[in-house]
Amino acid sequence: MTTALRDFIKNPTPAELELVARYGAQPEDSRRERAFLAFAETGLPHRRMEAWKWTDFKAALKALETPAAASAKDPLPHEGALVFRFTPNGFEAPVNMPEGIRMVEQPGMQAFPGAENVPLGALAAALSGGGKRPATLIFEITSGNLPRLHFVFSGSGQASFARIVFLIRSGASLNLSESYLGGAGLTSTVLEFDLEQDTAINRAIFQRGGADEALAVTGIAHLGANAEMTQTTLSFGAKVARMETRVVHQATGAKLNLNAAYLSGRGFHTDITTNVRHGAPSCVTRQLTKGAVLDGGTGVFQGKFFVPRKTGQHTDADMQHQALLLEDGAQVFAKPELEIYADDVECAHGNTCGALDDAQMFYLRQRGIPENQARAMLTEAFIAEALGKADDSVREVLLAEAQNWLSS
């Protein structure tokens, strides 16, 4: 079978061959095979694919073995949270779990619908598990009163894959945070969220990787009637980092707040890609993405709203992306897309890229604030808006991390 797959990826790179070998070492499983085939269709995503034209994993990832760089330190607070840790070979969960949460470590793979849309998500689903790690980790949430669940992903050289499924039962709610701390040549994680009616989730994502690492986080959510999802991402990128979120409004009255801030320094690439489908009437989406990029850094924003003619009526959706090019040589690529077929909707979008305002800079400096500090202050104020909806327990930390980056 391995040979056949090897033939399936056209002109495989060394990294792709290693992935094929890893797949071959897994027990046979038809679901796993389907997911891996979905990945193998294209191999590592590359610039000739429309959805990946600015974020080329194939070119960036020469081999899977890695980096001297250790994982970054986790800035998000562990106190008061249920902490789950993924390391390359292991998985640690709290010994005692409160009522209202049930965790199942599934050794076999669960079906992964829609794999063809998310090649790196499909790869994560196909290769997760092995060693002490579950192939699929499933959480069933039945309480509205749980402490924050905090997931830490860190590596030590090896490629690392994980898949987590959250089933949020009617009336329940979840406060979730995730830290992606790098330390592996390739990390791909896929998280799926099934929100039943009248549920809520507040999800915060912190990502920091090394300049020789590739990282993908794929989130896929289905929102039931009156379900509300709030997501806040703070991403510092890596050699290539793709933070992708796909959301389907499945029933009337669902609400989505989809916010992200990306900060890319020299040699770092951060990609925020989102796809929201208004598959039910009277659903709301508010999306705000802010970025700041230095010389030699790259930011990518790809946002899409899809509003079908019949089911998308009375959609209320707004997409904003604003980027600051802090230095000459900074690059930002943006593609906001609104595909609307319904006629009775309110959909708006805005997209701006520019430098800091000279008049504002002079005003701060005239009052005695040194140039670097003035630039950091203005950029922080600009970015902060995108972090404002994060849960109280993590918001200040996210802001402080952004601030540290800006003043260093």
Q: Which residues bind other proteins (CB under 8 A)?
A: 357-360, 362-371, 373-374, 377-378, 380-382, 384-385
Q: At closest approach, how far in Å is the CB of 359 from other proteins?
A: 5
Q: At closest approach, how far in Å is the CB of 301 from other proteins?
A: 20
Q: At closest approach, how far in Å is the CB of 408 from other proteins?
A: 18
Q: At closest approach, how far in Å is the CB of 232 from other proteins?
A: 16
- Three-state helix/strand/coil letters over the chain: CHHHHHHHCCCCCHHHHHHHHHHHCCCCCHHHHHHHHHHHCCCCCCCCCHHHCCCCHHHHCCCCCCCCCCCCCCCCCCCCEEEEEECCCCEECCCCCCCCEEEEEECCCCCCCCHHHCHHHHHHHHHCCECCECCEEEEEECCCCCCEEEEEECCCECCEEEEEEEEECCCCEEEEEEEECCCECEEEEEEEEEECCCCEEEEEEEECCCCCCEEEEEEEEEECCCCEEEEEEEECCECEEEEEEEEEECCCCCEEEEEEEEEECCCCEEEEEEEEEECCCCCEEEEEEEEEECCCCEEEEEEEEEECCCCCCCCEEEEEEEEEECCCCCEEEEEEEEEECCCCCEEEEEEEEECCCHHHHHHHHHCCCCHHHHHHHHHHHHHHHHHCCCCHHHHHHHHHHHHHHHHC
Residue with Cβ nearer other proteins (114 or 388): 388
Q: At closest approach, how far in Å is the CB of 265 from other proteins?
A: 22
Q: At closest approach, how far in Å is the CB of 203 from other proteins?
A: 24
Query: Which two three-digit tokens encode residue 63?
Result: 């081999």
Residue with Cβ nearer other proteins (340 or 364): 364
Residue with Cβ nearer other proteins (103 or 377): 377
Residue with Cβ nearer other proteins (46 or 365): 365
Q: At closest approach, how far in Å is the CB of 403 from other proteins?
A: 12
Q: At closest approach, how far in Å is the CB of 367 from other proteins?
A: 4
Residue with Cβ nearer other proteins (69 or 384): 384
Q: What are phi and psi of 135, to 5 degrees?
A: -70, -45
Residue with Cβ nearer other proteins (337 or 357): 357
Q: Dihedral angle at the C-alpha atoms of 38, 43, 48, 53, nearest 10 degrees?
A: 80
Residue with Cβ nearer other proteins (177 or 322): 322
Residue with Cβ nearer other proteins (107 or 370): 370
Q: At closest approach, how far in Å is the CB of 387 from other proteins?
A: 11
Residue with Cβ nearer other proteins (34 or 290): 290
